[in-house]
Every structure is written in structure tokens, then in C-alpha cells.
Structure 1
Amino acid sequence: MKTNESEYDRLLHDIYETIDNPCAWKDFCSHLRESVGAASVHLFGFDRQRDLFSWSDGFGLANAEPLERIRPLYRDDVRLSWLRAFPAGKWLHCGVELDCADDDDAGGTTGFALYPVADGHRCVALCKLVDHQRLTVILACSAQADDAPLAPAARALLERLTPHLSRAVRLYARRFALNADALAARKRAPAMLVSAQGEVLHSNEPAQQLLRATSLVRVRNRRLALTAPHHARLLEDIAVSEARLRSRANGAQAAAARFRALRIVGEKGEAARDASPDGASSASGQHEVLYAFYNVVVTPDDASAAELRAYAALTFYHPRSAPPVDEKVLAAAFDLSPAECRIALLLAEGLALKEIAAQVGVQHDTVRKQLQSIFQKTATRRQPELLRLLLNLPGGSAGAAPDAG
């Protein structure tokens, strides 16, 4: 463990380097881990208005750490209810008696545990660097399960660094507090969260596009409207699941989590018209089909029966709402030529190689050679593997970093 002045100067330099260089956070976490003798260091942020994880970086993190251990921090773990009121800029240390004379609930706390031991790590030190109505940013140090608490010199180093960390985080706050709607929109499928009363609590941008593409699903006054009998079936399913969960019925949680599917079929010629100048429908004379996949999710397990609420997490599939493969992302990510991009796009549309050759106007062998080049550049070996990759590419705007301003 290093705690000399040169080490402090290096960490200080790392902290202020992050203001202009977001990649420097990982360097800081790596150096801090070495300096205090921790097994891992994790820096993460929350959008508190929507209770969503919004940012994460660190060094030596366990696989489960970034997502599975964050959400309980401010909502699910009753042992941490007093942490919401714990002052920003003050460190909590596991196994060290806390000086909390001003906080009766936390006074004299020893053996503090942020979350259970998992993957051999446990939290030994934690500090809320920034904590206000919209955003909370926390720095946590973890150790091996059987390690002792941080040494006094390491705790003193953390205290010295805290005001500088808080200042850097405040200057960097716009990157920490990513827009939650943008995060939801990264899920490419249309998605909605719906209550037992049919109220739409959240819908992402693809869902908004879906509403413009079909009449088989509508939202009126924030209420979901599906065609009969699917609407009644969905709301009844949520209500029954909620009642069974409230009564702690045997198998209620497993039944709620199970995915269901609704196949909603419109009348012939009912398909929504494309946004073309003449308004002609590309699906005229055919049955329009919409698939809705959903499971039932609930409020935290520690909620009382009277407070428990159930919601349907819906994901839709509709031919005209299915996101196309983004050619720009494909070319930028894998350095495909324009001809190779075209082959990949036609494959994703379901065309066979002979059909692609006829449409492009080249020999079948030419298409096969281009496909082999695509396999090599994308590190895939077979068409099913390539198709899975193509259908899971991000949209062109999903990976764009927000303007730091």
C-alpha cells in the first residue's frame, strides 16, 4: 500500500485529468486501488428522479458488480435506509466504528456491509461524492471477503482526496447523469411499462414509432388500448398476478415472471399506411399482425402487501417497427465495404444468396466471396451467427456520447 506524497500527487493529477478526459476515471480507480490496497474500486452514478443506473466505471470489478449490486442501494435493501440521509463527502468504513454523534440511527455502527459478499468481494469503504435531488455519485472500495478493514493511512488518503473528487464529479456531472429516456431508447425493441389499470408509465422511442405505424395498439390519455379481446386479457393477467403476489400465493413470483405472448391480428387491408406521398399501403389485402411479449414485474420485495403493485413489461414486434440494420454502424464497426454492407443488409432482410446475386446483378460466386470477407471482418463463421450480430447492432445514435458542454 502506497500513501506517500508522490502517490497523493499522482492521484490528484488523475482526478483533474478526468474533467477533460473521461477515460482517466479508469486510471484513477486503478491507481487508487493500488494505493489503498483494495481488491476493486467502483465509481457509479444514479438518476434519482427515475431510479435508474446511469454511469459506471472502475477497476478490478467483479462481473456482477456494475448492475446487480447498484439497484438495491437506494431502494431494495432495508439495512441501508439510513444511507439516504448520510451526508455527502463523508466516508463509511466497514468494520470501523463510525463517528455519527449527530445521527442516532447510525451512531456507533460497526461492521457496515453495503451488500452481501459476492464473487469473493465485500464493500469496505463508501462515500457519496455528490448527492442532490437529481443525481447521486458514489465511490466504493471493495476487499477480499476475509481481508481486514482499510488501514488508517488508507482512510486518511481517501479523506484528503474527497474534496477534489467531489469537485471533479460536479464539473463532470452532465456525463454522469445520462438522460434516462435515451438509456431506454437504446433498447431497440418497442417497450412499455403498463399498470393493472392500463396506465402507460413509460414507453421508449421505438414504442412511439410503433404507435405511428399501426392501429392495433394505441395510447389515449396515457392509457393503453389493444384490440379486443387482448386488452382485457392483459389487464386481467396483471390484476390476477398482483392479487396472488399480495397474498403470497405459492408460485406467484415464478408465474408473474413467466413471459407470455399476444398475437394481435387485424382485418384484411387494415394495415397502417406507409408515410409515402401517395399514402398507399404496402400490406394492402393482407392481415396485419402485431406480437406483444410481456411478463409481470412488481415493486420491491420488502414492500407491504398493501403497497405492492404489479406492472406488465411489454415488448412489441411489428414488421414496420422492427429496426433496420444501421449501415453506418455496420461500416464503422467492421470496416465493411459498400458492397459488403449491401450483402449484409440483404441477408438481414431474409434474402438467400441466389436472391441477393439476382438483385445486385452479380454472380452467385461473387456474393459467396463477399460473404466470406464479411465473416472474417465480423469474426463470425456461419450465416446464423452473422444474422444474430446484425440484428443486435445498436442504432446509429445510441452510442453517441452526450455533449459535455
Structure 2
Amino acid sequence: MRETIGVTSIHLFGFERQRDLFAWSDGFALAGAEPLERIRPLYRDDARLAWLRAFPAAKWLHCGVEFDCADGDRATGFELYPLEDGHQCVALCKLIEQNGLTIMLACSGGGEAGPLAPEHRELLGRLTPHLVRAVRLYARRFTLNADTLANRSRPPAMLVSALGDVLHSNEPAQRLLKATSLVRVRGRRIALAAPHHARLLEDIAVSEARLRNRASGARAAAARFRALRIVGASEGGPDAARAPDAAASLDPHDEAHAGPHSTHPSASQPEVLYAFYNVVTADDASASELRAFAALTFYHPRSAPPVDERVLASAFDLSPAECRIALLLAEGLTQKEIAARVGVQHDTVRKQLQSIFQKTATRRQPDLLRLLLNLPARGPGAAAEG
């Protein structure tokens, strides 16, 4: 296409309207001065966003035809990506706009480039339906690969910028927001109880500065897991939200050891929320474009998802009685307590547990508990069918 219509480069890039940021970029013959702009909070106040929201999909803007390419504010407004000096956009098309994702195709030429020839504009018009179809198929595949897998994750998870912007939150995180007031998202920004909110944002900002300056040990320090223990002030008293070791280092495996069914506080106990996070960044970002984010996972004892009995039954062919034994074990009951709860002999529970071990290929109770606490959860569609 680049050679046929005689342009310098072709740039395909994606813009996420939900988060107001350019999130993906690819193309042909792109200059070194045309990197992907990763996170620019100023986009929210950028006049270009009005065009992104209002311009119809599958329609081309052509230099000298639909918009003016002369120097001036109007021409600058259509430069949606950085260009090498002396280059300018000669044709731009919003291919699709669906589910908050906008994908655009831009053709650039030299500084003296005029409008494309009529036959080249006609060719782009004929190609547009095919480009739209190809991009829709790719976007669908990306959505399945990313969102579906992310939402299968059992722990509530969020990706947060140094400004507190929530760039991504999975489905369990959305449910968590409805279950507790210890974490909130207001205007797309995370809100934690003091002093944890300021500490989190400061940690991301400091890590970002050290990574940009290539400070010694910066990457290892950013990857280290931290833990925040947030206690409800109303139930735990005025000092309940303070955790002296809230930003202490945490071994990455510690989160798994505190399974979601290890404790279930009573209504009289203070509400507690645990946030585990480390700082991540794009490996291929230049120093000037580098942005750091906190990858958070949460554990809320009162709203932790239970072991899915149907997953247990279908995956391991457990009987209803065996599923019940497994679920009570995950709740923290001993074999004697299970026998009393179910109303059977202790020896019956022991025999059923041996059958569970055999079907799940585990040998000991700790191995079985680790398996139970790491089972996948059924998706919303499966839950609805049930």
C-alpha cells in the first residue's frame, strides 16, 4: 500500500477511549522518531480527543481535501502521533470504534507532500471495507486472548498509574468494589484509605524516576512485592488504618499461602483488605517515554470467592458428598468438625477424603488445599447457565 500510493510511512495504532490513551502501535517504514506514546495524562485535555470521539469510522481524511495541511492549529490537531521533522499526515482513517477501542490508520509523507492523487484516494476507499474487516477480526482475537484470560483470574486485580489512574481492572476487582469501601474508584482513579493511598502513588513515582535514571538495582526493587494491610477505621478505631509494615517487602509466594478461605472474620471484627503489588513497566520503552504502573491484587476475607463446587465435580468427577467434604476443608474445618457438621462418622469422612485424594492425584491434605484454592472460577456465562 505504501509503495502504491507513494507515501513515506503507514502507521496503524489503537486508542483506548475508556482510559484516553494510545495503547498499541505498528506499521511500515516508521521513523525512529515515531514511537508509541504510551501513557500521556494530558490527552484528557487534548483537543484531538474531540475528533477521536466524533469522527465517523471507515471514513478517510485527506490532506488538502477534507482538512487543511498548511501550518496552523487545524493541521496540528490531526497529528495524532509523533512525526519525524519534515513529515506530515496526508491521509487518516478511523477504521473501527467498538467496545471503547478506536483503531486508526495514518499515511504520512514528506514535508512538501500535497494531497494524494484522486486514483490513490479512490484505491484507499475500495480497500477500506477489507481493512475494517481485518482489523475487526484482529481486535476480536485480542479481546479473547486478553480480557477473557484476565477475567478468569481469581484474585481481584488492577493496573494503576503513578497518578492513580486505573488502567485495567478485572471482573473480580469490579465485584470487590461493591463489597467493600476500603478501596474505591472515583473518576477512574483509585482511592485507598490514608496513608496507603499516598504511599502507593509515591512508591510508583519513585520507582518510575529510578527506572528512568537507570539507577542501580531499580528494576529489582520495582519487581519486589509489597503488601498493604488496610483496616476499616470505623470498626477498628482511629488508628486501624495504620499498618506499620504496610509497605514491607513480601515474598511473591506469600500471597498464595494466605488462601481466600483461611480466615472469615465475624461481623464484630474490623474489616480488613490486603493489597499486594509490584511496579511494572514496558521493557521496550525509551527513558523519555517510560511509565511505571502498580500491578495490584487484592484479598478481602469477607468477599473472597468460594471454591466452585461445579468445577470440582466436572474436573475431578467428585460425588456430591465428596464435593461437600472438599468445600468444608477449604473453609478450614478439621475432619472431626466436618463429621459433626455433616452428621456422619469420622471414619466415613476419612474414607471419602482418601477417595478425593485419589481422584485429584494429591497425597496429603495441604496438597489438596493448595489445589482447591487455585481452581479456576466459572465465567459469568457459565454461572448464568447454572
TM-score norm. by structure 2 comes to 0.56
| Post-superposition offset of 1:270 | 7.0
Question: Do residues 244 (structure 1) and 210 (structure 2) align?
Answer: yes
**Residues 148-297 of structure 1 correspond to what in structure 2 (within 5 A)?**
176-179=141-144, 180-267=146-233, 269=235, 283-297=266-280
Which letter maps to 1:224? I
Does the C-alpha gap of structure 1 residues 352 and 48 become closer, same or farther in structure 2, counting only changes over 3 Å? farther
Q: What are the superposed Cα offsets for residues 147-181 of structure 1, whole Å, 9 maximum, x if unpaired?
A: xxxxxxxxxxxxxxxxxxxxxx9998797454443
- The residue aligned with 1:298 is 281
Distance in 2, matches of 1:391 and 1:381, equals 16
| Post-superposition offset of 1:289 | 1.1
- In structure 2, stretches of 5+ residues that fail to align are 1-12, 17-23, 32-94, 104-133, 238-263
Question: Do residues 385 (structure 1) and 351 (structure 2) align?
Answer: no
- The residue aligned with 1:341 is 323
Contact 2:223 2:280 in 1 (8 A): yes
Aligned residues: 241
Distance in 1, matches of 2:137 and 2:226, equals 42
Which letter maps to 1:204? N
| Post-superposition offset of 1:259 | 0.6
Contact 1:269 1:283 in 2 (8 A): no
- In structure 1, stretches of 5+ residues that fail to align are 1-46, 51-73, 86-131, 137-168, 272-280, 401-405
**Residues 6-85 of structure 1 correspond to what in structure 2 (within 5 A)?**
82=28
Distance in 2, matches of 1:195 and 1:341, equals 42
Contact 1:206 1:321 in 2 (8 A): no
| Post-superposition offset of 1:320 | 2.3
Contact 1:217 1:224 in 2 (8 A): yes
RMSD, matched Cα: 3.4
TM-score norm. by structure 1 comes to 0.53
| Post-superposition offset of 1:397 | 2.2
| Post-superposition offset of 1:286 | 1.1
- The residue aligned with 2:310 is 328
Does the C-alpha gap of structure 1 residues 379 and 175 become closer, same or farther in structure 2, counting only changes over 3 Å? farther
Distance in 2, matches of 1:227 and 1:317, equals 16
Identity fraction in percent: 72
Structure 2 residue matching 1:330: 3-state secondary structure: helix
**Residues 109-128 of structure 1 correspond to what in structure 2 (within 5 A)?**
none
Contact 2:265 2:301 in 1 (8 A): no
Distance in 2, matches of 1:135 and 1:382, equals 51
Which letter maps to 1:215? S
Structure 1 residue matching 2:307: 3-state secondary structure: coil
| Post-superposition offset of 1:223 | 0.9
Does the C-alpha gap of structure 1 residues 200 and 338 become closer, same or farther in structure 2, counting only changes over 3 Å? same
| Post-superposition offset of 1:283 | 3.6
- The residue aligned with 1:371 is 353
Distance in 1, matches of 2:356 and 2:216, equals 51
Structure 1 residue matching 2:303: 3-state secondary structure: coil
Which letter maps to 1:289? V
Distance in 2, matches of 1:199 and 1:174, equals 24
Structure 2 residue matching 1:320: 3-state secondary structure: helix
Match of 1:316 among 298, 322, 336: 298
Structure 2 residue matching 1:392: 3-state secondary structure: coil
| Post-superposition offset of 1:321 | 2.8
